[in-house]
Structure 1
Amino acid sequence: MSTAARPRSRRTVTAARRHLAGVDRERGANPVELAVMMPLILVLLFASIQIAAVFLARSTALNAAQSGVNAQRSYQAANGAGVDTATQFLNAAGDWLVGWTAPGPSCVVIDDVEVTCTVSGRSLSVIPGVDFAVQQTAHGTVERVTPP
């Protein structure tokens, strides 16, 4: 094999590789892929934000119910102390739990032994038309003086 043929064969092989690799054949494919995938990405993004809003609403309702139980179960607590405390908590908590004012928090003392507080509402809606009901309940025993 002569030395003059060797550089020419390398050029031929390099040109053939470029042709077979199709360097420029997929030009413009990325915008099309993005246009196809973007609705799915947006749906997943808004769904994850909605799920987070539901969990925050549940957490807010549970914390309000626990605050109500703690206030109502204390020694010689006035009637309605739990409801007042839960309402104050919900007023200060923000709007993650909406619609809680219609039924309002309810605290029930059962046989002067147990307190049950329930908070109901709806989660904040990020996606129009999607509405999740939230209800959380907390229980506790009433404090009392026991003889020595």
Structure 2
Amino acid sequence: MALPPIPGTDAAAARRGRTVPGDRSGSDRGASPVELAIVAPLIILLLFLAIQISAVFLARSAALSAAQEAVSAQRAYQAQPGAGLAKGNEFLTHTSELLTDAEVVAAPAEPNEVAFTVTGQALSVIPGMDFEVSQTAYGEIERFTLDGNE
């Protein structure tokens, strides 16, 4: 048979719903919702920031790939003028969800080189913010030589 609790002890106080001086068991009531209300916006902001950074890097990758496709097409042996622009724009039509308002432009290059720059906007998950992306690729024009020195 169990003995009844002694008045003034923790067990007796717990039965009456009161706390004993120095007992912190009931002082944190309601702290979790308040902590969540403070921390949740920060977590959501960090999540959106991570998604935005990923979107910018994907857009940069798509722009660089389009520029490289354009250079590869234009630097080919006896390539037709405009072949690089056509190939770069064709690539961009397949990746239009990653890079919006994209444009392929021939960039200035050395006499025996071709260069293309692709610019556009990365998708934005943060309202009111635009992220411009620009990537350039260079390549040497393929040509036939007899001596192999050039």
| TM-score range relative to shorter protein | 0.7 to 0.9
After TM superposition, list the pairs within 5 Å mapping 1:26-41 onto structure 2.
26-41=28-43
- Measured in 1, the distance between the counterparts of 2:135 and 2:108 equals 17
Letter in 2 for 1:61: A
2:16 is aligned to none
1:54 aligns with 2:56: yes
Which runs of no fewer than 5 residues in structure 2 stay unpaired? 1-5, 14-18
The percentage of aligned residue pairs carrying the same residue is: 49
Q: TM-score, normalised by structure 1?
A: 0.82
- Measured in 1, the distance between the counterparts of 2:24 and 2:117 equals 66
Alignment coverage as a number of residue pairs:
136
Query: 1:40-74 CA deviation, whole Å, 9 max, x = no partner?
Result: 11111111111111111100000000000000000
Letter in 1 for 2:78: Q
Shift of the alpha carbon at 1:107? 2.5
Q: Which has the higher helix share?
A: 1
Letter in 2 for 1:140: G
Q: TM-score, normalised by structure 2?
A: 0.81
- Measured in 2, the distance between the counterparts of 1:28 and 1:13 equals 22
After TM superposition, list the pairs within 5 Å mapping 1:1-148 onto structure 2.
12=9, 19=20, 20-100=22-102, 104-108=103-107, 110=109, 113-148=112-147
Query: 1:12-36 CA deviation, whole Å, 9 max, x = no partner?
Result: 58889x8434112101100000001
